[in-house]
Homo-oligomer: A and B are copies of this chain.
Amino acid sequence: MGEPAAKTANAPAGTAADVPADAPADAPADAPQRGRPRSHRAHQAILAAASDLLLNRGLSAVSMDVVAERAGVSKATIYRWWPTKESLALEALFSEWSAVQPAVRDTGSLRDDLVSLIRPWARLVGSRPYGAVIAQLIAAAQADPAFAAEYRRRFVEPRREAARAALQRAEERGEIPADVRIEVALDLIYGPIYHRLLHGHEAVTDRFVKEAIDMALNGIRGRSGPATA
């Protein structure tokens, strides 16, 4: 999160994820810092240009040439820090969303926990053009497992983890049966929203979000299990 760790170890200053193994042993968190330092300005300009293109004209408009030109940067500089335009777009979108973190509240009610978690996100994501951008990232992920993992790690898992925690608390409270398969439950919660988001057959309204969560919760709470074999 701090430094999003694109490509290899591009975070020489602070919270080094991959401190070079041959560091001076006692120089604690201070990379030796040789050569010209990375341009913070260039970095920001690239992300800004990519964000702009991504949100206004879609992933396919995020071409390295155009980003470089808009950011006043050379293509080589982009390639130095991001291996593909998809990973650049990923980070651009991520930084765009940094405000809307999955804020989990423990309200004591599973339903309220989920609504407070999911509704803000559904509103954000349901407002064009995020649905389109996400679909394009998902498509890009199909051909690149590493990118797929990165996408899930940043965009899917955090929210899924928050909902998972809420479900576990509900289980401990006895609000849902102890034998509920939580991963399936999570898919039952998020699946319908993503479905509308990506397929666009209907709009992702607040009402839909509420109804889908309620219906899913009904299913999760169980009551009877499969009526027939």
Interface residues of chain A, those whose CB is within 8 Å of chain B, are 58-60, 109, 111-112, 131-132, 135-136, 138-143, 148, 152, 156, 160, 181, 183-185, 187-188, 190-196, 198-202, 208, 210-212, 214-229
Contact = CB atoms under 8 A, between A and B. Distances in A.
**Interface on chain A toward B: helix, strand, loop, or mixed SS?**
helix
Given A136-B142, A223-B218, A111 B191 contact: no
A57 to B, nearest CB: 9
Contact of A219 (B60, B195, B215): B215
Given A138-B135, A220-B219, A143 B211 contact: no
Interface centre among A142, A193, A229 (most CB of B within 10 A): A142
**Total copies of the chain:** 4
25 contacts: A111-B226, A131-B142, A135-B135, A135-B141, A135-B142, A136-B139, A138-B199, A139-B140, A152-B200, A160-B201, A185-B215, A187-B191, A187-B202, A188-B188, A188-B191, A188-B215, A188-B216, A194-B194, A215-B219, A215-B220, A217-B225, A218-B219, A218-B221, A218-B223, A223-B224
A109 B201 CA distance: 27
B195 A187 contact: yes
Given A191-B193, A218-B218, 6 more contacts: A59-B139, A111-B226, A191-B196, A214-B225, A219-B220, A221-B224
Contacts of A181: 211
A228 B191 contact: no
Given A202-B183, A215-B185, A58 B142 contact: yes
Contacts of A202: 183, 187
Given A228-B109, A228-B112, A184 B211 contact: yes
A124 to B, nearest CB: 17
Interface centre among A160, A187, A200 (most CB of B within 10 A): A187
A142 to B, nearest CB: 4
